[in-house]
Structure 1
């Protein structure tokens, strides 16, 4: 699959509204991601529910602070395992980080998690938004491009020069030895810039009539993880709502 952007697209920084985040854990040896459950927020209460399929798998490990996998967990405060992944308002680099994510400095914790993915250096937990299909049948997926640190110096310089709304390409890298589902992110001249995050591969593969654009390109000082924020829009195959069906049923 190769996607390019259409001539007109909404490149606004406003994140698509999502009240549900899929929580995943990466296997350090295989680098594959295991979906664990959903974190939701209704404006007042946070809820975390494990996936039934995840709990019955061999080697299942509950998340710290959410050890009871037989019930849903609710709180009026963000659970510590996720709160520690939100950039603190007391950190001196908070403003720079929020700007890199295209968010206001006072962005709510759930919004920060949605945009940042909650990733930390040396950690294996990552969250991704569970988008919904809009009334007009379209879907919008925002993500921070993975693997930027491993790209060429030319790519690093190119990212710095990218502009909001600039067209990107998403290329199915069928010959990738690590993952035949891999989706490479390039500029319009096919210069590799990084990859679509693995937890989003199945989702993005199922987007048709897709457009890819830059939401924000940041300088090297923000760190590799925040260098490039992208958006893919299009239509889900068969109008299927993402992350629904038997494999995505939760406990209670």
Structure 2
């Protein structure tokens, strides 16, 4: 039975024994999107989400641990730029290790932008490359499974957790400006990919509307702002191409950022 766990540390520190090198090569980002969205141009809201799910559902699942797992693909290809890997949250850089065990030894970990506790750490969600990113371990621990948002305490580049600027006192995690759009579009993808998938169970906590397949209302407002503030860049496009080569599906909000504006409630 699905359940949701909020505000706990999401750590991947254990169980590295089965990881081994995998022969993974880089891919060319200069490729036109393989999906045609033109037949969705008149759709909005639920109809648009259904149309997107028909295109991106049922992707190739690699699993989260072991040889050629999602973590190996992440550190071996997906997040590699010029032989380096950059932390999503604070911009720290390490040489691309090729293996997640070596990344961990270098102070990095795997960040699930959509917290693992909200789907019981199960496949296909836990290993879906469209929402997992390389990140430094300090930031990974600090973010835990808090909602994203604006806070007044985001001064330390390794720890951007702080009280919400709306004065409610709840803690939120603020992402650096140059990667905010990446996080927003990853969240939009997760709703389009899984909210209509009857084969799995995910619990979302959106103002007590549990299991409604939605992003928290306040968080969604922030993510929409971040989506507009930080447009899709070449790195994000390349990442989308690389993930499609492995999983066989794309993040449509990278291909067509305008789609988010035609969905009133994620």
Shorter-normalised TM range? under 0.3
TM-score (norm 1): 0.28
Whichever structure has more strand as a proportion of its residues is 1
TM-score (norm 2): 0.27
